[in-house]
Amino acid sequence: MKDYQARPDLLAGRVVLVAGASSGLGRTASLAYARHGATVALLARNEARLETVYDEIVAAGGPEPAMFPFDLAAADDRGLETLAGTIAHHLGRLDGMLYSAHQFFSLTPLALQTLEQWQSLMRVNLIAPFALTRACLPLLRQAPDASVVFTGESHGHRPAAYWGGYAVAKAGLETLTHIWNEELADTATLRINTLIPGPVATTLRARTHPGHTPDALPAPDDLMPWYLYLMGPDSQTVRGQIIECAP
Protein backbone atom coordinates (compact mmCIF):
# COMPACT_ATOMS: atom_id res chain seq x y z
CA MET A 1 0.00 0.00 0.00
CA LYS A 2 2.93 2.38 0.39
CA ASP A 3 2.98 2.71 -3.41
CA TYR A 4 -0.78 3.24 -3.64
CA GLN A 5 -1.68 6.15 -5.90
CA ALA A 6 -4.99 7.69 -4.88
CA ARG A 7 -6.91 9.34 -7.68
CA PRO A 8 -7.71 13.03 -7.05
CA ASP A 9 -11.45 12.42 -6.58
CA LEU A 10 -11.07 9.29 -4.44
CA LEU A 11 -13.27 10.66 -1.63
CA ALA A 12 -15.44 13.10 -3.59
CA GLY A 13 -18.91 13.42 -2.11
CA ARG A 14 -17.95 11.62 1.10
CA VAL A 15 -18.04 12.88 4.67
CA VAL A 16 -15.18 11.67 6.88
CA LEU A 17 -14.94 12.25 10.63
CA VAL A 18 -11.38 12.58 11.96
CA ALA A 19 -10.98 12.34 15.73
CA GLY A 20 -7.70 13.93 16.76
CA ALA A 21 -7.69 16.23 13.73
CA SER A 22 -5.79 19.10 15.31
CA SER A 23 -2.25 17.68 15.20
CA GLY A 24 0.02 14.85 14.10
CA LEU A 25 -1.25 12.13 11.82
CA GLY A 26 -4.86 13.21 12.35
CA ARG A 27 -4.14 16.67 11.01
CA THR A 28 -2.18 15.31 8.05
CA ALA A 29 -4.92 12.81 7.24
CA SER A 30 -7.58 15.53 7.43
CA LEU A 31 -5.69 17.59 4.86
CA ALA A 32 -5.16 14.52 2.65
CA TYR A 33 -8.81 13.52 2.78
CA ALA A 34 -9.88 17.05 1.86
CA ARG A 35 -7.40 17.16 -1.02
CA HIS A 36 -9.08 14.05 -2.39
CA GLY A 37 -12.56 15.50 -2.22
CA ALA A 38 -13.92 14.63 1.23
CA THR A 39 -15.85 16.96 3.47
CA VAL A 40 -13.95 16.47 6.70
CA ALA A 41 -15.59 16.67 10.11
CA LEU A 42 -12.72 17.87 12.30
CA LEU A 43 -12.91 16.71 15.92
CA ALA A 44 -10.45 17.56 18.68
CA ARG A 45 -10.30 19.14 22.10
CA ASN A 46 -8.29 22.23 21.12
CA GLU A 47 -10.55 24.62 19.21
CA ALA A 48 -7.75 27.01 18.19
CA ARG A 49 -5.80 24.19 16.54
CA LEU A 50 -8.95 22.96 14.83
CA GLU A 51 -9.45 26.42 13.36
CA THR A 52 -5.92 26.29 11.95
CA VAL A 53 -6.61 22.98 10.19
CA TYR A 54 -9.95 24.33 8.99
CA ASP A 55 -8.21 27.35 7.47
CA GLU A 56 -5.55 25.16 5.83
CA ILE A 57 -8.20 23.05 4.12
CA VAL A 58 -10.13 26.08 2.89
CA ALA A 59 -6.95 27.82 1.70
CA ALA A 60 -6.00 24.71 -0.30
CA GLY A 61 -9.36 24.74 -2.07
CA GLY A 62 -10.84 21.68 -0.38
CA PRO A 63 -14.52 21.25 0.48
CA GLU A 64 -15.48 23.39 3.46
CA PRO A 65 -14.94 21.24 6.56
CA ALA A 66 -16.95 21.19 9.77
CA MET A 67 -15.47 21.74 13.23
CA PHE A 68 -16.47 19.84 16.35
CA PRO A 69 -14.53 20.90 19.45
CA PHE A 70 -15.01 17.89 21.73
CA ASP A 71 -13.18 16.42 24.72
CA LEU A 72 -13.16 12.65 24.30
CA ALA A 73 -11.67 12.22 27.78
CA ALA A 74 -14.90 13.59 29.26
CA ALA A 75 -17.34 12.05 26.76
CA ASP A 76 -20.42 10.10 27.77
CA ASP A 77 -23.08 8.26 25.76
CA ARG A 78 -25.44 11.23 25.63
CA GLY A 79 -22.71 13.60 24.45
CA LEU A 80 -21.56 11.22 21.74
CA GLU A 81 -25.10 10.59 20.54
CA THR A 82 -25.64 14.35 20.40
CA LEU A 83 -22.43 14.65 18.39
CA ALA A 84 -23.61 12.00 15.90
CA GLY A 85 -26.95 13.78 15.63
CA THR A 86 -25.20 17.07 14.93
CA ILE A 87 -23.12 15.48 12.18
CA ALA A 88 -26.30 14.04 10.65
CA HIS A 89 -28.10 17.39 10.86
CA HIS A 90 -25.32 19.54 9.40
CA LEU A 91 -23.59 17.13 7.01
CA GLY A 92 -26.39 14.70 6.18
CA ARG A 93 -24.24 11.57 6.08
CA LEU A 94 -21.10 9.86 7.34
CA ASP A 95 -18.96 7.68 5.07
CA GLY A 96 -15.88 7.17 7.18
CA MET A 97 -14.16 7.73 10.49
CA LEU A 98 -10.50 7.90 11.44
CA TYR A 99 -9.76 7.65 15.14
CA SER A 100 -6.37 9.31 15.60
CA ALA A 101 -6.88 10.88 19.03
CA HIS A 102 -4.63 9.59 21.78
CA GLN A 103 -3.62 10.02 25.39
CA PHE A 104 -0.03 9.39 26.50
CA PHE A 105 1.90 10.29 29.63
CA SER A 106 5.44 8.90 29.61
CA LEU A 107 7.47 5.71 29.38
CA THR A 108 7.32 4.49 32.97
CA PRO A 109 7.61 1.16 34.82
CA LEU A 110 4.25 -0.36 35.71
CA ALA A 111 5.14 0.00 39.38
CA LEU A 112 5.09 3.78 38.99
CA GLN A 113 1.93 4.12 36.91
CA THR A 114 -1.23 5.20 38.72
CA LEU A 115 -4.85 4.12 38.59
CA GLU A 116 -5.83 7.61 37.48
CA GLN A 117 -3.37 7.45 34.56
CA TRP A 118 -4.68 4.04 33.47
CA GLN A 119 -8.27 5.24 33.60
CA SER A 120 -7.38 8.18 31.36
CA LEU A 121 -5.35 6.00 28.97
CA MET A 122 -8.15 3.47 28.64
CA ARG A 123 -10.81 6.13 28.25
CA VAL A 124 -9.20 8.00 25.35
CA ASN A 125 -7.29 5.18 23.62
CA LEU A 126 -9.80 2.34 23.88
CA ILE A 127 -13.18 3.25 25.33
CA ALA A 128 -13.69 6.40 23.25
CA PRO A 129 -13.04 4.73 19.87
CA PHE A 130 -15.58 2.05 20.82
CA ALA A 131 -18.16 4.55 22.04
CA LEU A 132 -17.70 6.98 19.14
CA THR A 133 -18.08 4.14 16.64
CA ARG A 134 -21.20 2.89 18.44
CA ALA A 135 -22.75 6.36 18.45
CA CYS A 136 -22.03 6.86 14.74
CA LEU A 137 -23.03 3.33 13.74
CA PRO A 138 -26.52 4.22 12.45
CA LEU A 139 -25.03 6.88 10.17
CA LEU A 140 -22.23 4.60 8.99
CA ARG A 141 -24.71 1.81 8.22
CA GLN A 142 -26.65 4.16 5.94
CA ALA A 143 -23.59 4.89 3.79
CA PRO A 144 -23.16 2.86 0.59
CA ASP A 145 -19.47 2.28 1.40
CA ALA A 146 -18.24 3.18 4.88
CA SER A 147 -14.84 2.68 6.48
CA VAL A 148 -13.68 3.04 10.09
CA VAL A 149 -9.93 3.18 10.75
CA PHE A 150 -8.52 2.96 14.26
CA THR A 151 -4.92 4.01 14.93
CA GLY A 152 -2.95 1.25 16.59
CA GLU A 153 0.57 1.27 18.03
CA SER A 154 3.59 -0.97 17.54
CA HIS A 155 3.98 -1.60 21.28
CA GLY A 156 0.36 -2.63 21.59
CA HIS A 157 0.93 -5.14 18.79
CA ARG A 158 4.23 -6.34 20.29
CA PRO A 159 4.23 -5.36 23.99
CA ALA A 160 7.41 -4.00 25.55
CA ALA A 161 8.51 -2.81 28.96
CA TYR A 162 7.59 0.70 30.12
CA TRP A 163 4.74 1.22 27.64
CA GLY A 164 2.27 0.17 30.30
CA GLY A 165 -1.34 1.30 30.09
CA TYR A 166 -0.86 2.90 26.69
CA ALA A 167 0.23 -0.40 25.14
CA VAL A 168 -2.54 -2.32 26.91
CA ALA A 169 -5.16 0.10 25.58
CA LYS A 170 -3.77 -0.14 22.04
CA ALA A 171 -3.69 -3.93 22.25
CA GLY A 172 -7.34 -3.81 23.26
CA LEU A 173 -8.04 -1.76 20.16
CA GLU A 174 -6.94 -4.69 18.02
CA THR A 175 -9.34 -7.01 19.86
CA LEU A 176 -12.08 -4.41 19.45
CA THR A 177 -11.43 -4.38 15.70
CA HIS A 178 -11.86 -8.16 15.45
CA ILE A 179 -15.07 -8.13 17.51
CA TRP A 180 -16.60 -5.29 15.46
CA ASN A 181 -15.65 -7.15 12.29
CA GLU A 182 -17.42 -10.33 13.37
CA GLU A 183 -20.51 -8.47 14.54
CA LEU A 184 -20.67 -6.53 11.26
CA ALA A 185 -20.10 -9.58 9.06
CA ASP A 186 -23.58 -9.19 7.58
CA THR A 187 -23.00 -5.49 6.81
CA ALA A 188 -21.11 -5.57 3.53
CA THR A 189 -21.10 -1.78 3.24
CA LEU A 190 -19.19 -1.13 6.50
CA ARG A 191 -15.67 -2.25 7.36
CA ILE A 192 -13.41 -1.60 10.36
CA ASN A 193 -9.62 -1.94 10.43
CA THR A 194 -6.72 -0.85 12.61
CA LEU A 195 -3.70 0.84 11.07
CA ILE A 196 -0.37 0.85 12.94
CA PRO A 197 1.74 3.78 11.68
CA GLY A 198 5.02 2.60 13.21
CA PRO A 199 7.87 5.05 13.84
CA VAL A 200 6.99 8.41 12.30
CA ALA A 201 8.19 11.97 12.89
CA THR A 202 5.47 13.31 15.18
CA THR A 203 5.45 15.13 18.52
CA LEU A 204 4.50 11.87 20.25
CA ARG A 205 7.57 10.16 18.82
CA ALA A 206 9.72 13.06 20.03
CA ARG A 207 8.39 12.48 23.54
CA THR A 208 8.96 8.72 23.56
CA HIS A 209 12.31 8.77 21.74
CA PRO A 210 13.87 12.22 22.37
CA GLY A 211 17.33 11.07 21.27
CA HIS A 212 16.24 9.96 17.81
CA THR A 213 16.74 12.15 14.76
CA PRO A 214 13.37 13.04 13.20
CA ASP A 215 14.94 13.26 9.74
CA ALA A 216 15.62 9.52 9.85
CA LEU A 217 11.89 8.74 10.19
CA PRO A 218 9.03 8.86 7.70
CA ALA A 219 7.06 12.09 7.77
CA PRO A 220 3.27 11.91 8.34
CA ASP A 221 2.70 12.67 4.65
CA ASP A 222 4.68 9.54 3.74
CA LEU A 223 2.01 7.39 5.39
CA MET A 224 -0.97 8.93 3.60
CA PRO A 225 -1.19 6.21 0.91
CA TRP A 226 -2.27 3.78 3.66
CA TYR A 227 -4.74 6.27 5.15
CA LEU A 228 -6.27 7.06 1.77
CA TYR A 229 -6.44 3.43 0.66
CA LEU A 230 -8.23 2.27 3.80
CA MET A 231 -10.69 5.17 3.75
CA GLY A 232 -11.52 4.92 0.04
CA PRO A 233 -13.49 2.43 -2.06
CA ASP A 234 -10.43 0.47 -3.22
CA SER A 235 -10.25 -1.27 0.18
CA GLN A 236 -13.83 -2.54 0.26
CA THR A 237 -12.71 -6.15 0.78
CA VAL A 238 -10.25 -5.32 3.59
CA ARG A 239 -12.13 -6.06 6.81
CA GLY A 240 -11.06 -6.65 10.40
CA GLN A 241 -7.36 -6.34 9.63
CA ILE A 242 -4.45 -5.10 11.73
CA ILE A 243 -2.18 -3.41 9.21
CA GLU A 244 1.35 -2.16 9.89
CA CYS A 245 2.78 0.62 7.76
CA ALA A 246 6.29 -0.46 8.72
CA PRO A 247 6.21 -4.13 9.79
pLDDT tens sequence across 198-243 = 777 555 655 555 555 656 677 888 999 999 999 999 999 999 999 9
Q: What is the pLDDT of residue 198?
A: 78
Please state the rounded mean pLDDT for residues 3-9: 93
Domain extents for the chain? 15-244
Q: What percent of the chain has pLDDT over 90?
A: 85
Angle between helices 128-142 and 77-91 (to 10 degrees): 30
- Which amino acid would we find at residue 183? E
Q: Which residues contact 96 (CB under 8 A, 6 or more apart)?
A: 11, 14, 15, 16, 17, 38, 143, 146, 147, 148, 149, 231
Q: Is the dihedral of CA 181, 22, 101, 71 positive or negative?
A: negative
Burial of residue 79, with CB atoms counted within 10 A of its CB: 0-12 exposed, 13-18 middle, 19 or more buried: middle
Q: What is the pLDDT of residue 20?
A: 96
Instruction: Using pLDDT thresholds of 50, 70 and 90, give the confidence band for residue 156.
Output: confident
Q: Report whether 200 contacts 25 (CB < 8 A).
A: yes
Q: Give the HSE-up count for residue 45: Cα atoms under 13 Å, Cβ half-sphere.
A: 10
Q: What is the pLDDT of residue 218?
A: 79
Instruction: Using pLDDT thresholds of 50, 70 and 90, give the confidence band for residue 247.
Output: low
Please state the rounded mean pLDDT for residues 27-37: 98
pTM of structure: 0.93
- Which amino acid would we find at residue 138? P
The pairing of beta strand 146-151 with beta strand 15-19: unpaired
pLDDT at 246 over 90: no
Instruction: Using pLDDT thresholds of 50, 70 and 90, give the confidence band for residue 42.
Output: very high
CB 175: neighbour CB atoms within 10 A?
12
Reported as a single tens digit per residue, the pLDDT across 53-85 is 999 999 999 999 999 999 999 999 999 999 999
3-state secondary structure of 69: strand
CA dist 107 and 46 (Å) reads 24
Please state the rounded mean pLDDT for residues 144-150: 98
Which alpha helices (DSSP H) does 102-232 contain, by range? 115-122, 128-142, 154-157, 164-183, 203-208, 224-231
The pairing of beta strand 146-151 with beta strand 190-196: parallel
Q: What is the pLDDT of residue 3?
A: 84
Superfamily of domain 15-244: NAD(P)-binding Rossmann-like Domain (3.40.50.720)
Q: What is the pLDDT of residue 204?
A: 60
Active site residues: 166
pLDDT at 27 over 70: yes
